[in-house]
């Protein structure tokens, strides 16, 4: 994991999933990046090749088999930290928005 992990609090039941997402095919600047619907300042991320790299880890929820089953059965929901990345960009002269981009896992993730 990156050095940013030490400065980001990871709540119980969540994990640092990674710190980057891949740009959709054909995506062109200008980019507007959102984490959980909140627009991010360009100082909090950089565009490197075909990826957006964040200055901190993106936190996702751990959902084990028992928890998933309980949610499926409607016994309870989930209220743990689970960040989503949305991206607004230009493609073929049109502005597009792609919700919930998958986070590229850290190389040593198991």
User: What confidence score (pLDDT) does residue 47 get?
Assistant: 97
User: What confidence score (pLDDT) does residue 61 get?
Assistant: 80
Residues of the chain with pLDDT under 50: 1-6
Q: DSSP letter at 22?
A: E
User: What confidence score (pLDDT) does residue 3 get?
Assistant: 41
User: What confidence score (pLDDT) does residue 95 get?
Assistant: 97
Q: DSSP letter at 84?
A: -
User: What confidence score (pLDDT) does residue 2 get?
Assistant: 42
CB atoms within 10 A of CB 18: 20
Question: If we measure between CA atoms, which residue out of 10, 15, 110 comes closest to residue 61?
Answer: 15
- Rounded to two decimals, what is the model's pTM? 0.78
């Amino acid at each position: 994991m990156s050095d940013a992990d030490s400065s980001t609090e990871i709540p119980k039941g969540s994990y640092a999933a990674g710190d980057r997402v891949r740009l959709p095919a054909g995506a062109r600047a200008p980019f507007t990046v959102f984490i959980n619907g909140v627009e991010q300042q360009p100082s909090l991320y950089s565009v490197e090749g075909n990826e957006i790299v964040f200055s901190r880890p993106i936190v996702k929820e751990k959902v084990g088999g028992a928890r998933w089953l309980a949610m499926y059965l409607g016994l309870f929901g989930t209220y743990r930290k689970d960040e989503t990345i949305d991206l607004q960009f230009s493609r073929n002269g049109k502005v597009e928005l792609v919700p919930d981009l998958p986070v590229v896992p850290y190389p040593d993730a198991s």
